[in-house]
């Protein structure tokens, strides 16, 4: 529970995806468009550039700048054949937890069980 609460401070759930994304991007300009893209991926399995652009105009009343589009889609999705698919299960770098490298090798510690 504590881990989930800590996660929800910096990240938010993407409805229908079972994934989390950072709550905020680097700027407010990115955030307003980012929220639209996240809502779009909550509703659709995959999207095209036109879907994203139309959603931004419809919801925000303004066009999505190309540089913002590129940044957001690289962060949130992968592209194949001009179709973008949400990065399900991908954790933003800031949320990745280093896993123990348990390769059975000696890490230099004394693991004989004797605490003396």
Asked if residue 103 is part of any domain, the answer here is: no
Structural domain for 26, as ranges:
2-89
- CATH number, domain of 28, equals 1.10.10
Asked if residue 109 is part of any domain, the answer here is: no
What secondary structure letter does DSSP report for 94?
G
Asked if residue 72 is part of any domain, the answer here is: yes
Separation of alpha carbons 107 and 101, rounded Å: 10
How many structural domains is the chain composed of?
1
Rama region for 100: left / alpha / beta (φ>0; ψ in -120 to 50; rest): beta
**pTM, full prediction:** 0.62
Asked if residue 116 is part of any domain, the answer here is: no
**Residues 45-100 pLDDT 10s:** 899 999 999 999 999 999 999 999 999 898 888 899 889 988 875 454 544 444 43
């Amino acid at each position: 529970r504590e881990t989930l609460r800590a996660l929800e401070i910096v990240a938010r759930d993407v409805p229908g995806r079972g994934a989390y994304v950072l709550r905020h991007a680097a700027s407010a300009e990115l955030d307003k468009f980012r929220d639209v893209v996240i809502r779009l991926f909550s509703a659709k399995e995959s999207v095209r550039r036109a879907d994203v652009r139309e959603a931004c105009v419809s919801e925000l009343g303004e066009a999505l700048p190309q540089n913002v589009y590129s940044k957001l889609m690289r962060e949130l999705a992968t592209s194949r054949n001009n179709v973008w698919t949400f990065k399900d299960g991908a954790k933003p770098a800031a949320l990745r937890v280093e896993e123990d490298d348990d390769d059975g090798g000696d890490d230099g510690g004394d693991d004989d069980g004797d605490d003396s």
